[in-house]
Structure 1
Amino acid sequence: MGSKDNLEEAREELKRADHLIFVSLKYTRTVDVIRSVIERLIASLNFMIDALLELAKEGGLIDSMPQNNGLKCSVLRAEFKHPEIADMLSFYTLLRKISRADYRKREEYRRHVTMTAVTEDGPVDISIDVIKEYYEKALSFAEFISQLISPVENPQ
């Protein structure tokens, strides 16, 4: 898959996350939907990371694509010095920690439904407002990567 194909897949995952947030979560208000949104955001960021790695490979910066997520992040940190990419990788790591962590549910079926993930760094509370912020952050990363991949096609 090329960098543009990966970016398109990332956008598709973001569309799915958008639907989960603005339709499913609005009406169900459950932690399971919050977890599903987190999984969609992780999948989207995975595609963005793969798009950047493809870009690096096409540009001759790397010889082969690493398969391990940790190696992918290390290679991107070494090859791309943009602070936005460092932020994206930190965000990606945080989401993966949250996804793997034990969690508690609070106020399900109410406006203030909250998932509390217990990570090694301490508890992380994720409410509807926080998950919307995470979604917006992922959208901005997708736009940034789109600019990197096709700067002429996407002028802003």
Structure 2
Amino acid sequence: MQTRLAAALGTVVLTAGTLLGVPAAGAQTSAYPTTAYARVAVGNTWTQGTITWYNRSVAVVGTHKSVSAAGPAYCRRTWAYTYDSAGAKLGSAGSYASDTACGTTKDFSSFDVLADVPGGAASVRVCLDDGNLQDLLCSPPYRRP
């Protein structure tokens, strides 16, 4: 009797453990959407890359180019701004100082721009900045896919 009870209890425990470890049907995770942003160019300098749309932020990554290292005004960085559906600015952030291109073409590390509202950013503008963090030219707004 005790052997049958132990075997039955063991079967119940194993079945429950197996069922709890299996994800529910349709509960698979999906990748966050990305948008390629077109080249934002001023003369022979530019930035281009991708935007990844998260729930309360976006990530921007890509490449920027500078043709001269004659000083900060000739260096290039990338900056981005997030907006809600009414067009109000939510956040801004830019590539890291270590990613600044001065007389070269340089990949920049992914940086996050806050969009701390339900659903996240409705749109993003990407700007080519000089080494003094002055916006030189910004893209039209990219809408969330």
Shorter chain as denominator, the TM-score bin is under 0.3
Quick check: which one's helix share is greater?
1
Name which one, 1 or 2, has greater alpha-carbon Rg: 2
TM-score, length of structure 2 as denominator length: 0.23
After TM superposition, the score normalised by the length of structure 1 is: 0.22
**Structure with greater strand percent:** 2
- Structure with more contact order per residue of length (Cα contacts < 8 Å, sep ≥ 6): 1
